[in-house]
A and B are shown apart, each in its own frame.
Chain A
Amino acid sequence: MEQSTESVQVTIPPNKGMVSDWASDQKAFKGVPWGKAMMWIFLVSDTFVFSIFLISYMTVRFSTKAEWPNPSEVFALHVGHVSVPLLLIAIMTFILITSSGTMALAVKYGYEKNRKKCAILMFATAVFGASFVGMQAFEWTKLIMEGVRPWENPFGAPQFGSIFFMVTGFHGTHVTIGVIFLFIMARKAWRGDFDTGRRGFFTSQKSNYEAVEIMGLYWHFVDLVWVFIFAFFYLW
C-alpha cells in the first residue's frame, strides 16, 4: 500500500476472514504482530482475574446480612463546609481518562514514527498515571485513619474493607507497573530506539514502534478495568 504523508489514510474495517483465517496455514491472526497477540492474550487472562474479584465482591455483598456501607458517603470529601460525594474518585476517573487519551495519541504518533510527540505523550501518560497512584495512596491513608481494615470497618458490613483493599490494591498495582513501563518506553522512544532498531536490554530483540501500541493496549486495559470498578464498587 502506498504511504502518503499528506492525507492520513483510514483503514477500512477488515472485520472479516473468520473462517478463512482460522482455517489457513501457519497463522490465524493475520496482520497482528506476535507481541500484540501475546499482549491481548495476557489481557484476556487479566480480565478473568479482575472479573473473579468483582464476582466475589458481588457474592459477598449479596450474601451478607449486615448493611453495606454507602460508598457515596464513605468516599465523600469536604470542600469548605460542603460534603461532596465521591469527589476524589471522580477526579481519579477523569485523570485516568485523560491519560488514556494521551496514550491513544502516543500510539497514533507511534504509527507515524513521530519520535518526539510519541515520547512526550507517553511521558505525559506516565505522569497522569503516577498522580492517579498518588491519589489512591491518599484515599487508602484516609480510610485506614478512619478505621477501615480488611476485617472490620466503622460503616457497616466487614467485607467492605477486604473487597476495597483487594480490588483497588490490585488495580493500583497494575497502574504502578504501567507507569514504570511507560517511563521506560518514553525514554526508549525519546532516545530513538524505535527508529534505529536498537536491541532491547532485556530481550535483545530489535525495538520498533509496535512496542508503543502494545504499551497502549495495556494502559487502555487499566483504564477499562477502572470503568468497571468505578461502576460496580463506587457507584452501585
Chain B
Amino acid sequence: MAEGTQQHPLKIYFFVWTLLFVLSAFSYGVDYLQFEGYLRWSLIILFMLLKAGFICAIFMHMFWERLPIIFAILCPCCAILVFVFIMWNESYYTLLIRKLFFMITGS
C-alpha cells in the first residue's frame, strides 16, 4: 500500500452517517420541543460534541492516525478553552460596568 492509504469497510461510514442524522434530529428536537434552561444547554452541548467527535474521528480519519499528528491538532485547540474562560469573565465585567454607567447617567 502507498504511504498514508487507509481502507475501511463501507459499513462504518453508513453507521456514522446515520448516527449524524439521528443526532441532528435530536438537537433540532431540543428546539422543537422547547426545552429550557440547563436541560436545553446540556443537551445542545452533548449532541454537538458527539457530532463533532464522530465527524473528526471517522470522517476525517483521526481515529486511524498516529498519536503525534492527533496531538499536534488537538493540543493547540485546548488554548481556545482558556480564551473562552477569559472572555466569559470579561463579558460579565463589561455588563457590570455598563449597568453602572447607565445607572449613573440615567439612560
Contacts and interface: CB of A to CB of B under 8 A. Distances in A.
Interface of A: 1, 3, 8-11, 13-18, 21-22, 28-33, 36-37, 40, 43-44, 47-48, 51-52, 55-56, 58-65, 72, 85-86, 90, 93-94, 97, 100-101, 103-105, 107-108, 111-112, 210, 213, 216-217, 220-221, 223-224, 227-228, 230-231, 234-236
Closest 9 CB pairs of A and B: A62-B91, A231-B48, A63-B94, A101-B17, A18-B67, A63-B91, A21-B68, A59-B91, A51-B80
22 contacts: A8-B8, A11-B8, A16-B66, A30-B66, A32-B66, A44-B73, A44-B76, A52-B83, A59-B87, A64-B95, A72-B34, A86-B32, A97-B21, A97-B24, A100-B59, A101-B13, A103-B59, A104-B58, A216-B60, A221-B60, A231-B27, A231-B48
Contacts of B68: 17-18, 21-22, 28-30
Interface string B1-33: 101111111100100110011001001101110
A227 B34 CA distance: 19
B21 A220 contact: no
Contacts of B21: 94, 97
B67 A231 contact: no
B66 A21 contact: yes
A21 B65 CA distance: 12
Contacts of B72: 28-29, 40
Contact of B71 (A14, A18, A223): A18
A205 to B, nearest CB: 15
B30 A235 contact: yes
Contact of B67 (A17, A43, A210, A227): A17
B69 interface: yes
Nearest to A91: B28
Interface of B: 1, 3-10, 13, 16-17, 20-21, 24, 27-28, 30-32, 34, 40-41, 44-45, 47-48, 51-52, 55-56, 58-61, 63-73, 76-77, 80, 83-84, 87-88, 90-92, 94-95, 98-99, 102
Contacts, number: 180
A11 B80 contact: no
B5 A63 contact: no
A52 B47 CA distance: 22
Dominant secondary structure of chain B at its interface with chain A: helix
Contacts of B10: 8, 105, 108
Contact of B55 (A17, A63, A227): A227
Given A63-B95, A104-B17, A231-B47, A13 B88 contact: no
B98 to A, nearest CB: 6
A217 B31 contact: no
B4, B64, B70, B95: which has the most chain A beta carbons within 10 Å? B4
Given A15-B65, A63-B91, A63-B92, A227 B59 contact: no
A10 B73 contact: no
Contacts of A228: 48, 52
